[in-house]
Amino acid sequence: MANPSFGEELEKLKEYLRSTDNEDAKRPLLYPLFQKLFKDKFKIESNVYGADIYVAGQLIID
């Protein structure tokens, strides 16, 4: 199986980092990368008791 390509997601990450918009407005730029990397382990906010991003056993961003 071929390795997944992250070109589009990394471009969105760059856009997220350069944007002056507030955090809520920028989320659609960031989440696709985490979703692709961590698949069903990736959880956000209301699913993880207030953390912004949670990946079971690997990552918590608050």
Q: Which of 59, 58, 10 is nearest to 36 (CA)?
A: 10
The confidence score (pLDDT) of residue 51 equals 67
Q: Does residue 1 lie in a domain region?
A: no
Distance CA 34, CA 62 (A): 14
Q: Does residue 53 lie in a domain region?
A: yes
Q: Evaluate if residue 1 carries a pLDDT over 70.
A: no
Domain count, the chain: 1
Q: Which of 50, 17, 58 is nearest to 34 (CA)?
A: 58
Which one has a higher pLDDT value, 48 or 13? 13
Q: Evaluate if residue 10 carries a pLDDT over 90.
A: yes
pLDDT band at 48 (very low <50, low <70, confident <90, very high): low
Which one has a higher pLDDT value, 18 or 28? 18
Q: Does residue 2 lie in a domain region?
A: no
Using N-to-C axis directions, what is the helix angle for 7-18 and 23-38, rounded to 10°?
150
Structural domain range at position 16: 7-61
Q: Does residue 44 lie in a domain region?
A: yes
Q: Does residue 24 lie in a domain region?
A: yes
Q: Does residue 21 lie in a domain region?
A: yes
